[in-house]
Structure formats: structure tokens, C-alpha cells
Structure 1
Amino acid sequence: MNQALFPPVIVDGVEISASSIAAEAQNHAAPKGKPGLAWRKAARALIVRHLLLREAEALGISAEPRALGNGRRETIEDAQIAALLDQTLEAEVVSDEDVKAEWERDPSRFKTPPLWEASHILCETEGAAKALIIELNEGARFGDLAKEHSQCGSAEAGGFLGQLSPNDTIPEFEIAMSALEEGAITQTPVQTRFGFHIIRLDAKEDGRQLPFEAAQNRVREALERAAWVQAARSYTSELMDKAQIEGIILPAEAPKKETAI
């Protein structure tokens, strides 16, 4: 991105540098050939961050960074922003009637997760996997080839992986597995960071629709989350409306309807 085409942004006399916006733009998607869109998204994000931090400091809000898992912790600034929003926002209360109405709008959205039983053969090279697929199509036994050739610990069990739920495997594997019919084998090796997989779907069970009693907590949490997001959007828009912003024209953010699913 050519930073010379995009000036710094000034928020109430404080500069947000072009280099900062360019770095932030890497986190915002935009159509190919339209870097200005990613730039505006990044600028808006940094403007909002600046205004929230300034508001937290004005209110004397401090916060202890929380652990995020995997040895990571949030930054002091992120902790301040979270504390500000927790203290300031007043989200719309979600009533029992709201929850029931949201569920009745389309009950089929609320289901148990699907389940799969699958086996695989893991090969180091694509060529080796393709050769085994030919053997399988000619009648070779999947379990025998898995025991002899698979580079996975499941080889001893004939490649059987057991019962799998969403997110139990890496995305490429799950996408290929879930597209299969029961008993079918992938006809093209599935490449992941571990190597090349031949996948057989042994059984599958589609998610079952949940009754209201089982789904209501999930619906309530989603509605409360949507109400919080709307309150945060309104709050940040108010801060931006009060600020003097130079160097960029930001169109008003279109209102978005938040739904439970």
C-alpha cells in the first residue's frame, strides 16, 4: 500500500500516523485493487480505539490485563477499553418473550452438532496417496492399507479415528470429510500441514433440532451478545460524532441487525 497516497489522520489535534494505519489495514479485508477501502476501515478502527482510550483515561479507569490462553495476555490498553465498555454500556434487556420470539422465527437454526465416524490414511507425498486411492478403487481393504502405509498413530486401528465433532480436526480435513457420503472415500488426496490424507466416512449423524427448552439459553446468550454489540456501536458512534476528525472522510456506519445465529 502506497502510504504517500493516504495522509495521516488527526483526531482532536492528535495524529494517527499513516504508518500506523497501514499496519492496521493488514487486518481488514478489501476487494483486490481497492486499498482505499481497507485504509478507511483501518483508520476508523484506530480512531475508535483512540477515542475509547481517551475516554477511559478521562474517567480514571484502570484494569488488570486478563489471560487469553496459550500463554498470552491482553494488553493494558485492551483491558482499559474492556473495562470502560463494561462500566459504560447499558445494553437492552432481553426478555423471556424476546427469547421465545427469536426461537420461533426459525427453530431449525438450533440443532445439536453433527457427528462423524471416519478413518484415514496419512501419506507423506501426494503421489503415494494417489497410488493408494487407485488400490482402494480396485478393491483393496482400507484397514489393511492404513496399517501398512499410514503415517498416523491411527494406523494400528486400521486408520479409524473414532467419533468426531465439529472442530475436532483441522479445517481442511473436516471440510473434505463432511462432504462425503457414508462409506465414500476421497478421490483426491486432502492436503493439510501433516501431509496428504485419504479419508473414508464410515458413518454420520446430522444435527437434530433442539426443542425450545434445550435451546433457550443459547438463544438468550446470542440476543444479549447482539444487544451488547449494538450498544457498543451506538456508544462509539457518539464519541466519533463529538470528535474533530481531519484527514479522512468516514461515511456513517450503516446500522446492522444482529441476529441470534
Structure 2
Amino acid sequence: MNKQVLATVNGFEITKEELDLLLQHAPAEQKMQLNTLAGKKYLLNEMITQQMLYLDAKEKGLDQDQEYLKELDVLGQNLLKQYAVKKVLDTVVVDEAEAREYYEKNPEQFVKGPCVRAKHILVKEEEQAQNIFKEIKEGKKFEDAASEYSQCPSKENGGDLGEFEKGKMVPEFEKVAFELEIGIVSEPVKTQFGYHLILVEDKKDKKDIPFEEVKNTIKDYMLKMKQNDTYKSYADGLRNQYEITTNEELLK
């Protein structure tokens, strides 16, 4: 691919690829604004300015200042440390067989508990909840009542809360939701948020989560664990090769 040169400064080329890379790593809150013609022109101007500053500093010999060389040495040391860690961790891999073995040895971690799919209507006063309950009993659709009366954002979807397992809702709400029969609207249920009318639309029993659904999660988890172990083991090995003294009393 031919380089697309956007500008030159004393013969030094600034390419579109470099600008695109800079744009790619821009903070999320700035990216939209910078990814416009005006934004790209601004970035290009900044790249030109930075290159001029670099050339100016070189001409003035600032790259030979002792303070600069000291900072450069510290940066170089830190970069080498990071690179050394990367080289150690790059040797660590987790294959599918290892992930499957972990899955089979820890079945309790990959179970989806009983869950329900429910809708609700939330209001502040019990009297209003009772009146809405009466309207529904007399034929008003639950979804219409939710859209009209509910003070929960779910009103936009007819009160739909989607599917949830135990432990996801406040105890008073959860107890009723899991005990309620499908298609039956509950009496008003009081919680810290107010009074709820609950309609359960579906229930599912506890089931095992298939390996394919959690394979990548397992591999990511095992990779982190193996990397931690590898890092610690490697560092412990290095301690046997170097003379180390500490003055921990200075930490006080």
C-alpha cells in the first residue's frame, strides 16, 4: 500500500496512517468530534506542531541535557520492565481441552438457577395500586395499565422486566414473583420502592449452561490465573539469582 503523505516538515513525512492511529486512540469523549474534516485538520496541525517542536529541540541540543537523559533513562527502564513481563506472559496459553476440563470439574459454577420472566407496575401509594389492580381485574390490559400508571422506566415496555434469577430483585418482590402462577396478577406488593403489581409470564427450572456458552469466559479466567502463577514463579526464581537487601523499617 502506498503511503498517503498528509504533510512534510523539513522532509519528515506525516502520513494518513499515523493520523488515523492517533484518532483511533483518542479519548472516547473526543473521538466523535475529531472524526470530522475539521477535527482531522486540527489533528494534522497538532502533528505538524509536535514535529516542529521535536526538530527545534534537536537543533538546540535539548536531547543532550542531563535532566532529559535522566528522564529518558527512567522511561527506558520502565519500558524494558513492561516488555520483560510481556515476554514472560506471552508464553502462557489456555487451550480448549483445559477449559473443558475446568468446566467438567466445576459443574456447580455453570448452572443457571430457576428464573422467571415478569412484568410489573410500580406506584407510590397502596390505594392507587389497589385501584389499578381492580381495573385489571375488570378487563384492563396489564401492559396498558403499566404504560399509564407505572413510575418505573419499564413502563415504556408495558412493565416488562425481562428474565431474572433469584437474588436479582429485592426480597419482597422476588418471593412473590417466584411463587406466583403464570398469567396471574399479584395483589399489591410493598417494597422500599413503593407498591408493585406483578404479572409472571414464564418460569424456567434450573439448568446447566452449555460449555460453548462459557468457553471463552473460562479461558479468560484460566489465562489470568496462569499468568499470575507464571509471573510469581518467574519472579521467585529471579530472587535466587540476585542479591537483595531491604530496609523495611523506612516504610514506617
The two structures share one fold, judged by TM-score above 0.5: no
The structure that is helix-richer by fraction is 2
Into which bin does the TM-score normalised by the smaller protein fall?
0.3 to 0.5
TM-score by length of 1: 0.42
Computing the radius of gyration over CA atoms, which structure comes out larger, 1 or 2? 2
